[in-house]
Amino acid sequence: MRGTRVWARLLGLVRAVVEDVWIGDEGEIVVAARPGWREHDRCGVCRRHSPGFDLGDGRRRWRALDLGTTLAFVEAEAPRVTCRRHGVVVCAVPWARHHSRFTRAFEDQAAWLAVNCSKTAVAQLMRVAWRTVGGICERVADEAQREVDLLAGLRRIGIDEISHRRGQRYLTVVVDHDSGRLVWAAAGRDRKTVERFPRRARRRALQTARIGVLRHGVLDRWSGRRSLPDAVRCVDPFHVVMLATDALDEVRREV
Ligand SMILES: [Zn+2]
């Protein structure tokens, strides 16, 4: 295996060619690369092949995952193309999301960490600014949402509330009972909040087909009656046990 392919493997560069590697002024490792021939001249937004426009602002760098203890960067030209839909835009590169200064692998790791620990911890560990973590999470979440329609095939849902900020604020969450996935969440916990869920579903052209299949909703103790008129309301075992335990406590105290 040639040296350049080892570097490509180390940085997770696929559909790309490594041209050179060097150590930069501040001790960082810089890997110069170019997109593979199939990846040339694609619009950064829609990835459609488009005619070239100009060379853009010259070479730029994307922060990659650290190599051992050392910061690593991918460096490449960033030419522009004229997309039929998006006008003049910077070309797509296979290793990074559009408008990002980080590689895809770097962003995926930062976003995973953000789900599992505090934003401050992520910023320190990944050596990025605190605000940058938020931007990374938005890009990763946007991409994930484009690829997966969370409301597709929805049949049995559960609605519940969770508190945050030490019980000061509430979120209403909707989960898909078949996949166990969170499909929707909004601030607040009253009936108006719940009613926003099907409204939004309707807006997304779900109309009869998908509203109809919300029939087997498991509704928590309030009131989905008006917001989900076709739903069959089921009793959530968690709340049954909770209510029974509370009642038992009361009787025990009386005794
Ligand atoms: Zn485009």
User: Residue 147: which pLDDT band, with cuts at 50, 70 and 90?
Assistant: confident
Alpha carbon distance 199, 191 (integer Å) = 13
CA–centroid distance, residue 229 to ligand 1 (Å): 42
Q: Pick the residue with more confidence: 227 or 66?
A: 66
> Cα of 94 to ligand 1 centre, how many Å?
15
CA 151 to centroid of ligand 1, rounded, Å: 26
Cα-to-centroid distance, 171 and ligand 1 (Å): 36
d(CA 95, CA 54): 21
The answer to whether residues 7 and 65 touch, using CB atoms and an 8 Å cutoff, is: no
Calculate how far, in angstroms, residue 81's C-alpha sits from the geometric centre of ligand 1: 9
What separation in Å is there between the alpha carbon of 252 and the centre of ligand 1? Answer: 68
Q: What value does the mean pLDDT take over residues 226-244?
A: 71
Nearest to 176 by CA among 143, 152, 146: 152
89 within 8 A of 54, measured Cβ to Cβ: no
Q: How far is the CA of 55 from the centre of ligand 1 (A)?
A: 17
91 Cα: distance to centroid of ligand 1 (angstroms): 9
CA 100-185-113 angle, 5° bins: 40
Q: Which two tokens stand for residue 16?
A: 């790309």
SS3 44: coil
Q: Which of 150, 90, 138, 96 is nearest to 114 (CA)?
A: 138
Token pair recorded at residue 29: 């490792």
For residue 251, the CA-to-ligand 1 centroid distance in Å is 67
Task: Tell me whether strands 157-164 and 29-35 are parallel, antiparallel or unpaired.
Answer: unpaired
3-class DSSP state of 31: strand
Cα of 217 vs its chain's centroid, Å: 26
Task: Give residue 158's region: left, alpha or beta (phi > 0; psi -120 to 50).
Answer: beta
> Ligand 1 centroid vs 242 CA: distance in angstroms?
53
Beta-bridged to residue 32, according to DSSP, are 20, 75
Residue 40 Cα to ligand 1 midpoint, Å, equals 14
Query: Mean pLDDT across the chain, nearest whole number?
Result: 84
Report CA(152)–ligand 1 centroid distance (Å): 26
In the reported structure, the alpha carbon of residue 110 is separated from the centroid of ligand 1 by a whole-number distance in angstroms of 27
Residue 153 Cα to ligand 1 middle (Å)? 30
> Which runs of E-coded beta strand occur in 167-242?
169-176, 181-187
231 — pLDDT class (breaks 50, 70, 90): low
154 pLDDT tier (thresholds 50, 70, 90): confident
Mode of pairing for the β-strands spanning 29-35 and 70-77: parallel
pLDDT at 172: 82
Q: Answer whether 75's CB lies under 8 Å from 30's CB.
A: yes
Measured in residues, the chain has a length of 255
* Total-model pTM: 0.72
Q: Is the pLDDT of residue 66 over 80?
A: yes
Ligand 1 centroid from CA 67, angstroms = 33
CA of 98 to the centre of ligand 1 (A): 11
Q: How far is the CA of 244 from the centre of ligand 1 (A)?
A: 58
Q: Is 225 exposed, middle or buried (0-12, 13-18, 19+ CB in 10 A)?
A: exposed
189 C-alpha to center of ligand 1: Å? 40
Confidence of residue 212 (pLDDT cuts 50, 70, 90): very low
